[in-house]
């Protein structure tokens, strides 16, 4: 079942009519010089191996379980295609406890914050950054907040983003909203994103597609990357 079918099951007849009348959800522009942005695909959110979420979350409080590893396979293909076509690959990851910044407001929203370890902020091995990739550390959900991401994109002449990673309703959505706020066209790869709560994933995709960008599947994203080789 596709994310659109999942979303449709959640909508009431009134919701559908509101969307129809509002004008939201039309296809947006995509840009000519994209970068692939991989959000927080670390052990903290994936665990250290594929396993059911109820097992993985016992050891990694933010884990999305098997859904994460399904997306990891998709993201790997996106990264390979991006590099083959000279499209920049940019990773974000959470700031480690060793940074000294502390958990901030996260400490008020999760009872297991003290379990976090530096090792959990490693990007999972199948997606290990390659030469030329960029890795940015961040302390808050958005990849733009407190990082040099925007200046990096400007410096490299990037005019759009193809976004994947996690969590769909959290850091992915926050990053997409900030990209939209900076007038960057965004494509969100539905099967390259994941969330620990299924309804959050579906509603996150629906909301982003409605207002902030285009939600696409990996086949379309791969075609975009293959057809947008940079000078």
Give the model confidence (pLDDT) of 94-130 as tens digits.
976 666 666 677 667 777 777 777 678 899 999 999 9
Q: What is the pLDDT of residues 142-163, one digit of tens each?
A: 999 999 999 999 999 999 999 9
pLDDT at 229 over 80: no
Q: Is 188 inside any structural domain? A: yes
Model's pTM, two decimal places? 0.92
Helix residue ranges per DSSP H, the chain: 3-10, 13-22, 43-46, 53-59, 66-84, 106-109, 149-155, 173-181, 198-211, 218-226
Q: Is 175 part of any domain?
A: yes
Q: Which residues have a catalytic role annotated?
A: 171
pLDDT at 191 over 50: yes
- How much is the pLDDT for 102? 64
pLDDT band, very low/low/confident/very high, at 230 (cuts 50, 70, 90) = very low
- Residue 139 is predicted with a pLDDT of 92
- Considering its fold, how many domains does the chain have in total? 1
pLDDT in tens, 40-77: 999 999 999 999 999 999 999 899 999 999 999 999 99
Domain, as residue range, for 213: 34-226
Average pLDDT of the segment spanning 133-144: 96
Is residue 39 domain-resident? Answer: yes
The C-alpha R_g of the chain, in whole angstroms, comes to: 17
Q: With respect to residue 196, please indicate whether it lies within any of the assigned structural domains.
A: yes
Mean pLDDT of the chain: 92
Note the residue count of the chain.
231
Contact 128, 90 (CB under 8 A): no
- Residues 197-224 have pLDDT tens digits of 999 999 999 999 999 999 999 999 999 9
User: What is the Cα–Cα distance from 142 to 212, expressed in whole angstroms?
Assistant: 14
Do the domain assignments include residue 11? no
Question: What CATH number did the domain enclosing 134 receive?
Answer: 3.40.50.850
CA distance 127 to 75: 8
CA distance 27 to 19: 14
- Judge whether 124 lies within some domain: yes
Does 55 map to a domain? yes
């Amino acid at each position: 079942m596709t994310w659109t079918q999942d979303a449709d099951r959640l909508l009431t007849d009134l919701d559908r009519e509101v969307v129809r009348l509002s004008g939201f959800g039309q296809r947006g522009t995509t840009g000519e010089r994209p970068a692939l942005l991989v959000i927080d695909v670390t052990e903290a959110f994936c665990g250290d191996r594929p396993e059911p979420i109820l097992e993985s979350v016992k050891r990694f409080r933010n884990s999305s379980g098997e859904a994460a590893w399904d997306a990891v396979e998709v993201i790997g293909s996106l990264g390979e295609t991006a590099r083959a076509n000279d499209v920049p690959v940019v990773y974000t990851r959470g700031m480690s406890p060793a940074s000294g910044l502390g958990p901030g407001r996260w400490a008020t929203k999760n009872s297991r914050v003290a379990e976090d370890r530096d090792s959990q902020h490693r990007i999972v091995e199948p997606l290990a950054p390659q030469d030329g990739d960029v890795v940015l550390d961040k302390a808050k959900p958005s990849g733009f907040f407190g990082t040099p991401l925007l200046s990096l994109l400007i410096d490299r002449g990037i005019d759009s983003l193809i976004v994947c990673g996690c969590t769909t309703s959290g850091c992915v959505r926050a990053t997409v909203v900030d990209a939209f706020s900076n007038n960057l066209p965004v494509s969100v790869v539905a099967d390259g994103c994941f969330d620990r709560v299924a309804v959050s994933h579906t509603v996150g995709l629906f909301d982003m597609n409605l207002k902030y960008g285009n939600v696409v599947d990996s086949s379309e994203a791969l075609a975009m990357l293959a057809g947008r080789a940079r000078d």
